[in-house]
Amino acid sequence: MDEYGREPCPHRIYADAGSAFAMGLIGGSIFHGIKGFRIAPKGFNQSHKFKI
């Protein structure tokens, strides 16, 4: 029953697409960051861990 109380279609599509993009951006950044630190050469992890 909650679906009938939502906003009209065009605005809701943009909101859903934006939130899905944000979740993918954050989740992908975390996933690839962890994967990159695991695959990086041995000395790279300690020397560049907190440098931006």
Average pLDDT over residues 15-34: 95
pTM score: 0.60
- Find the mean pLDDT for residues 7-34: 90
Q: Is 34 helix (H, G, I), strand (E, B) or coil?
A: helix
pLDDT higher for 46 or 32? 32
Overall average pLDDT of the 30-46 stretch = 81
pLDDT, averaged across the chain: 80
d(CA 45, CA 52): 13
Task: Report the C-alpha gap between 46 and 6 in whole angstroms.
Answer: 49
9, 10, 16, 21 alpha-carbon torsion, rounded to 10° = 160
Number of alpha carbons in the 13 Å side-chain half-sphere of residue 1: 0
